[in-house]
Amino acid sequence: MRQHWWQSAVVYQIYPRSFQDSDGDGIGDLNGIISRLDYLQQLGIGAIWLSPVYRSPSADNGYDIADYQAIDPLFGTMADMDRLILEAGKRGIRLIMDLVVNHTSDEHPWFVAARQDPNAETRDYYIWADPVDGHEPNALTSGFTGGSAWEFDERSGQYFLHLFSRQQIDLNWASPALRQAVYQMMNFWIDRGIAGFRLDVVDMIGKDWCHNGVVNGPHLHEYLHEMNRKTWRDRDFLTVGEAWSADPELARGYSDPQNQELSMIFQFGFTWADRVLGGAKWETQPLDIVALKQALFENQWAMASAGWPSLFWSNHDLPRAVTRYGQNCPVAAKMLAIVLHGLRGTPFIYQGEELGMTSAMSETIETVDDVEARAIYRQLRKRGESAGQAMAKLNVFNRDQARTPMQWDATPKAGFTTGTPWLAINADHTQVNAAAEVGAADSVWATYRQLIALRRHSPILQTGTFGALEGDPEQIIAYTRSLGEERWLIVANFAETPISTTLASPAMHLDRYLISNYALPESEVPTLRLRPYEAFIARLK
């Protein structure tokens, strides 16, 4: 298989609101990002995935786009964007834009025109349906409002669809004109020098809404193939689709080069390991490490010979991994990093993860920004729950918890802004911050930096074969990577309790440790004594 740049690179997600403010308005911006490029270069990342900075009324912090070809003044100008691409490029960092094409803002001119006039050219860019017996066309609900996903339009007497908030209107991918308009817009960005797209809720594109289906529509893969052909086909481009509905098999389908669709997708199987299957967002259960391991490994197996996995623990929608799986311990943050970066695939780091930033809790609903969390809070209250009860549930999944500003230093505003931050800074920034960690040999940051470099310089990590170890104890995640004669062992004790064990495979003799999260591993492969959250990568002979 031809080697792509994204098989040796690590991608870093920036949530622009919270990364670095340069003008004191309390909201991060493009110039802020530019001022931190040296930090990212030092970390060693190969690409930035930039969450949306397009013109937007910000009903969902930019995931409601009103103009795909303009930068929101909140973040800067198109000239700033060009400078970001240029300055990042000088430092060997590519730029990946967030492509939100399942829906637009209700303020997008396409929708404004469509609503004004049922004969408008862009009317069929959206999904319209007649009432059924005077009611909504069907029972689809919107996760971001709690109510029907259909909104009645007085003027035309039809309903339009919005699966997210009332300000995020679903696009109709069955319209060839819409598809061409999207491809044109994508080419505009490709021509500006970007190196990839992250495709928001890609599995919802081409939905078969009239059969109540919102994911995996009958033409989804046809549309992705067409998109590939009409846009990035001749470039070495990274495309990663967000697909909550994808199992490992579907993940392979999207990313198998033969199909000419995407480079990879985000597959969320592992996020169920501490959630009640099919339960509400706040219904969690103690982490099932075996289920987590299974989910990670199944992705590796499914894409062993075709397709390519993405590797991630966190993003702007999920709780911080070190809080979720590691009780906020720095040693657990390092363990998580080692387990993930040892796998085959492209690792994604969510800003602050490299510092061990933790999930922030909200005390009252007044301080909550997340559109989804606020809607769920309203529903819970309507059902008679007290404010305290509702907040306790909210704090399990509230997306604000991973969106607090980057913790650059220990000063009151964490070096993020000189103004009032749009979302409160996590109190732990006095300990967890870049100033304290960059250059400190034993920091979480140092572990990430080392892992990124290791991947860049180690063909075995890039393309080596993955092998699971059978029969290891429940709390341990262990696997090997192999390339030619070279064999590496990755082991992690995912629990806070120590453990002694002998790994099943007898033919393992340790050559040397490449990285670990304790000063001196006590382990002697294949007999291991692992301390709480201990993890390492070792070369075998």
Binding mask 465-504 for ligand TEU (x = CB under 6 A): ----------------------------------------
User: Smallest distance from the beta carbon of 280 to ligand TEU, in angstroms?
Assistant: 11
Contact status: 266 vs ligand TEU (CB under 6 A):
no
Shortest reach from residue 63's CB to ligand TEU, in Å: 3
Let me know: does 20 contact 28? Beta carbons within 8 Å: yes
Q: How far is the CB of 169 from ligand TEU (least distance, A)?
A: 11
- Using the CB atoms, write b or e for 343-360: b if 16+ within 10 Å: bbbbbbbbbbbbbbbbbb
Catalytic residue among 29, 170, 200, 400: 200
Lookup result for tokens 């993890």: 535
- Selected from 5, 39, 244, 513, the binder of ligand TEU by CB under 6 A is 244
According to the binding rule CB under 6 A, does residue 203 interact with ligand TEU? no
The least CB distance from residue 210 to ligand TEU, in Å, is 21
Task: Tell whether residue 201 is a contact of ligand TEU (CB under 6 A).
Answer: yes
Q: Which amino acid, residue 295?
A: A
Token digits of residue 44: 């060693």
Nearer to ligand TEU, 148 or 450 (CB): 148
CA atoms of 527 and 503, how far apart (whole Å): 6
Told to check if 63 binds ligand TEU by CB under 6 A, we report yes
Q: Distance between CA atoms of 370 and 94, rounded to whole angstroms?
A: 29
Pick the closest to residue 296 from 239, 363, 359, 341 (CA basis).
Answer: 341
| d(C-alpha 112, C-alpha 384), whole Å | 38
| Number of neighbours of residue 214 by Cβ within 10 angstroms | 21
Interface positions, 351-410, toward ligand TEU (CB under 6 A): 372, 397, 399
Beta strands in 337-475 (DSSP E): 346-350, 465-468
Gap between the Cα atoms of 479 and 469, Å rounded = 5
With respect to ligand TEU, which residue has the nearer C-beta, 316 or 344?
316
Candidates 14, 43, 38; CA nearest to 452 is 43
String of contacts with ligand TEU for each residue 307-346, x by CB under 6 A: ---------xx-----------------------------
Residue 200 annotated in active site: yes
* Residue in 84, 82, 78, 67 with CA at minimum distance from that of residue 32: 84
Q: How many residues bind ligand TEU, per CB under 6 A?
A: 14
3-state class of 237 per DSSP?
Answer: coil
Residue 528 CB neighbour total at 10 angstroms: 23
CB 254, min distance to ligand TEU, A: 16
Q: Does 164 bind ligand TEU (CB under 6 A)?
A: yes
- Among the listed residues 64, 72, 242, 370, the single catalytic one is 242
Q: Is 350 in the site for ligand TEU (CB under 6 A)?
A: no
State yes or no: residue 252 binds ligand TEU (CB under 6 A).
Answer: no
- 60 lies in the binding site for ligand TEU (CB under 6 A): yes
Q: What is the three-class DSSP state of 331?
A: helix
**Residues 111-150: x/- map of binding to ligand TEU (CB under 6 A)?**
--------------------------------x-------
* Catalytic residue check, 242: yes
**Parallel/antiparallel/unpaired status of strands 47-50 and 94-99:** parallel
x-or-dash string of contact with ligand TEU, 95-114, rule CB under 6 A: -----x--------------
- Give dist(CA 53, CA 81) in Å, integer: 9
Phi, psi of 243 (to 5 degrees): -140, 90
Binding site for ligand TEU (CB under 6 A): 60, 63, 100, 143, 164, 200-201, 242, 244, 316-317, 372, 397, 399
Q: What positions carry a catalytic annotation?
A: 200, 242
